[in-house]
Amino acid sequence: MALQDVDTRRTLASPGGVSRDTIEAVIRSTPFASLLGASIVEFGSGKVTLMVPITDRLLQHHRFVHGAVIGFMADSACCWAAASQVGDVVTSEYKLNFLAPAGGTSLIGRGEVIKISGRQVVSRADIFAEKAGVERLVATALGTIARIRA
């Protein structure tokens, strides 16, 4: 079974950026993103903000958000920011620095494109833990994102 329907795959394959609606369709059709409850909060050309609610199922043994969830946020924020400008993408690599333990009610990931060149997009992401309306920076990432060409 294909993860995305034909219309979504066709839209992703366009060389220009994709819309918020298209990325939201990808989130809905991606089992891990759906499992985490990921959603887009803000969207613009080269920028995206996403959110994942913090639940007990996402915590590690010290009751902080598991690093894999923060990695998902960094990877997705970098990729979705890139996709907003160049279409379908995959991650080539990313570097993630954990800066503080993450706890609270939600994780916020803000991704931004730094540079587009040839087949690559360099993006960055900052991940925040939100509690009672206050955000705390918990991780930062730098990613190299590869364009998928039809």
Per the DSSP assignment, residues forming a β-bridge with 135 are 130
Which CATH number fits the domain that encloses residue 26? Answer: 3.10.129.10
* Residue 1 belongs to some domain of the structure: no
Q: Domain count for the chain, please give it.
A: 1
Instruction: Please give the pLDDT value at position 2.
Output: 41
What stretch of H or E contains 70? Answer: helix 67-86
* Inside any domain, residue 16: yes
Residue 93 in tokens: 């690599």
Domain, as residue range, for 121:
6-147
Asked if residue 14 belongs to a domain, the reply is yes
pLDDT values of the chain reduced to their tens digit, one per residue, 150 residues: 344 555 655 556 666 789 999 999 999 999 999 999 999 999 999 999 999 999 999 999 999 999 999 999 999 999 999 999 999 999 999 999 999 999 999 999 999 999 999 899 999 999 999 999 999 999 999 999 999 976
Question: What is the per-residue pLDDT for 149?
Answer: 78
In a domain, 128, yes or no: yes
Burial class (CB in 10 A: 0-12, 13-18, 19+), 91: middle
What's the pLDDT at 48? 97
